[in-house]
Amino acid sequence: MAVKPTARSGARARPSKKRTSPLWLRWTKRIAVVLVLFVLVVGSIGGFAGMLELRKAGDRMGGLEKKLDQIDSPATIIYARDGKTLLYRASSEYRRLIKDYSEIPQVVIDATLAAEDKRFFDHKGVDFRAAFRSIFKNVKEGRQAEGASTITMQLSKRLFTSAEKSFRRKVEDVANAIEIERRVTKRQILRAYLNQVYYGEGAYGIRAAADVYFGKKDLTKLTPAEAAMLARLVRRPSAENPFQDLEVALRNRNTVLKIMRDENML
Q: Is the dihedral of CA 255, 256, 257, 258 positive or negative?
A: positive
Round to whole Å and give the CA distance between 206 and 227: 9
DSSP string, 118-167: TTTTTSSS--HHHHHHHHHHHHHHTS-------HHHHHHHHHTS-S--SH
DSSP string, 200-228: STTEESHHHHHHHHH--S-GGG--HHHHH
Question: How far from chain centre, in Å, is Cα 180?
Answer: 14
If one compares 249 and 57, the residue with the highest pLDDT of the two is 249
% of residues, the chain, pLDDT over 70 = 62
Round to whole Å and give the CA distance between 241 and 252: 10
What integer pLDDT is reported at residue 212 of this predicted model? 93
Q: Are 138 and 146 in contact (CB under 8 A)?
A: yes
CB atoms within 10 A of CB 30: 10
pTM: 0.71
pLDDT, averaged across the chain: 78
Q: pLDDT tens digit string along 191-202?
A: 999 998 999 998
Confidence band for 143, pLDDT divided at 50, 70 and 90: very low
Q: Which of 1-15, 29-43, 91-105, 124-138 has the lowest average pLDDT? A: 1-15
Number of helical (H) and strand (E) elements in the chain, helices listed first = 10, 4
Q: State mean pLDDT over 148-168.
A: 81
> Reduced to 3 DSSP states, what percent helix, strand and coil does the chain have, rounded to the nearest 5?
55, 5, 40
Residue 228: name the closest of 101, 113, 99 by CA. Answer: 113
Confidence band for 159, pLDDT divided at 50, 70 and 90: confident
What integer pLDDT is reported at residue 166 of this predicted model? 73
% of residues, the chain, pLDDT over 90 = 39
